[in-house]
């Protein structure tokens, strides 16, 4: 694929609050039309990074630019280039759909005919036809979410930040939302998504993992699965799995274990350890045990990368 122009750039971007370094020399580039996922534990520095990219907080080191505008030197220009959507906070629940659109349009300096055109556009992409005069608090979750997205895009920003956009909505609405996002991306809008939820993260073209202020990994979903190296993830089916978990966790070379219903997921340093696991389980009375190598989920990748970083 041809490299698209860079829309968001961070170079050694840092931010300290007193002695606490919230963001520690983070560098990345996001391209035009990319859906870029930003993942990390609470306190990882995600929100601080995004606040800097939005021109709301100035960096204490390094630099960042959005659409070529330096976030520290031209925060107002940056704000014009971005949209921000958080499902929970950006709508007025006691206003109607139309009133919310007018409010946000006004806040972005739209009026008259351009505003009317964008309102109509937001109603159309949101599937909100006929609901213009409904109060937002009466809208089902999926509709409110698409309205929030429309509001964030009224001023045609080339970059939009989405904060856990589809939490709690039903799968039908979620699919519709992501179809919309792919459509925007295809039209050249850059989409920056922060989420704790791996099914949202899997929709992203590229994902960055932050932990303790640092960027630990950044790649496509397929590329991230490669971080396991020689280590393998196995799913273990055996009698009394909840009780067997402790036996598995004690085997040298088993770096991670988790109970999944009546099965155990374990990360083994290498594939040959499978025989050892089977033997130890048999010796402890948990036979027969079936082991199967499975592809790691994004959550497994996340835990693995953070575990490696904490060990070194």
Partner 1 sequence: MTVTAETVIQASALVVRYGATEAVRGVTLAVRRGEVVGLIGPDGAGKTSVLRVMAGLHPASEGSVTVVGEDAWRSRRALHAHLGYLPQRFALYGDLTVAENMQFFALLLGVPEWRPRRDELLRRVGLDRFRDRQADHLSGGMRQKLALAVSLMHAPGILLLDESTTGVDPVTRREFWRLLADLVADGLTLVLATPYLDEAERCSRVVLMHRGEILGEGSPQHLTELVPGTMLEVAAEPRGPALDALRGMQGVVEVQQFSARFHVRLASGATAEQIRGALSGAGVIIHEVRAVAPRLEDTFLHLTRAAQRRATGVIP
225 lies in the binding site for partner 1 (CB under 8 A):
no
State residue 212 phi and psi, 5-degree precision. Answer: 50, 45
197 lies in the binding site for partner 1 (CB under 8 A):
yes
Rounded alpha-carbon distances, angstroms, from residue 4 to 1, 7, 204, 207, 236? 9, 9, 16, 17, 44
Cα-Cα-Cα-Cα dihedral sign, residues 11, 4, 80, 123: negative
Where would I find the H helices in the chain? 46-53, 75-81, 97-107, 112-126, 141-152, 171-186, 198-201, 221-225, 241-249, 273-283, 298-311
Determine which residue in the list 109, 223, 226, 242 makes contact with partner 1, applying CB under 8 A: 242
199 lies in the binding site for partner 1 (CB under 8 A):
yes
Stretch that binds partner 1, among 10-18, 23-31, 99-107, 164-172 (CB under 8 A): 164-172
Determine which residue in the list 31, 63, 98, 196 makes contact with partner 1, applying CB under 8 A: 196
Determine which residue in the list 251, 258, 284, 309 makes contact with partner 1, applying CB under 8 A: 258
219 lies in the binding site for partner 1 (CB under 8 A):
no
Token pair listed for 268: 């083994």
Task: Name which of residues 1 to 40 contact partner 1 (CB under 8 A).
Answer: 1, 35, 39-40
Stretch that binds partner 1, among 5-13, 92-100, 173-181, 226-234 (CB under 8 A): 173-181
Q: Pattern of binders to partner 1 over 137-156, x per CB under 8 A?
A: ---xx---------------
76 lies in the binding site for partner 1 (CB under 8 A):
no
If we measure between CA atoms, which residue out of 246, 229, 244 comes closest to residue 304? 229
Number of residues that bind partner 1 (CB under 8 A): 50
Determine which residue in the list 186, 230, 311, 312 makes contact with partner 1, applying CB under 8 A: 186
Rounded alpha-carbon distances, angstroms, from residue 16 to 21, 60, 61, 155, 218? 4, 6, 8, 32, 23
Kind of pairing between the strands at 190-194 and 35-40: parallel
- Least separation in angstroms between residue 136's CB and partner 1 is 15
Rounded alpha-carbon distances, angstroms, from residue 92 to 38, 135, 292? 27, 9, 50
Question: Which spans of this chain sit near partner 1 (rule: CB under 8 A)?
Answer: 1, 35, 39-44, 140-141, 164, 167-175, 178-179, 182, 186, 196-199, 202-205, 220-221, 240-243, 245-246, 258-262, 297, 299, 302-303, 306
């Amino acid at each position: 694929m041809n490299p698209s122009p860079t829309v968001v750039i961070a170079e050694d971007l840092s931010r300290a609050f007193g002695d606490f370094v919230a963001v520690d020399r983070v560098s990345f580039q996001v391209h035009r039309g990319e859906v870029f996922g930003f993942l990390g534990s609470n306190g990882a520095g995600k929100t601080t990074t995004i606040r800097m990219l939005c021109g709301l907080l100035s960096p204490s080191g390094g630099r960042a630019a959005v659409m070529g505008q330096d976030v520290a030197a031209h925060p107002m220009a940056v704000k014009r280039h971005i949209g921000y959507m958080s499902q929970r906070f950006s709508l007025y629940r006691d206003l109607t759909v139309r009133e919310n659109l007018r409010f946000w349009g006004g806040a972005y300096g739209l009026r008259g005919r351009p505003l009317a055109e964008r309102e109509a556009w937001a109603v159309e992409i949101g599937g909100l036809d006929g609901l213009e005069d409904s109060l937002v608090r009466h809208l089902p979750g999926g509709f409110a979410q698409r309205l929030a997205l429309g509001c964030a895009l009224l001023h045609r920003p080339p970059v939009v930040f989405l904060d856990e956009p589809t939490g709690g909505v039903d799968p039908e609405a979620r699919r519709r939302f992501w179809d919309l996002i792919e459509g925007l991306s295809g039209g050249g809008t850059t989409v920056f998504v922060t989420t704790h939820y791996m099914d949202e993260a899997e929709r992203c073209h590229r994902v960055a993992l932050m932990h303790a202020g640092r960027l630990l990994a950044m790649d496509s979903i397929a590329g991230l699965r490669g971080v396991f190296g020689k280590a393998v993830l196995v799913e273990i089916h055996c009698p009394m799995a909840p009780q067997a978990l402790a036996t598995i966790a004690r085997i040298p070379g088993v770096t991670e274990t988790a109970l999944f219903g009546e099965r155990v997921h374990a990360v083994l340093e290498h594939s040959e350890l499978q025989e050892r696991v089977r033997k130890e389980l048999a010796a402890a009375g948990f036979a027969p045990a079936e082991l199967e190598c499975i592809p790691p989920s994004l959550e497994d990748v996340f835990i693995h990368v953070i575990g490696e970083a904490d060990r070194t």
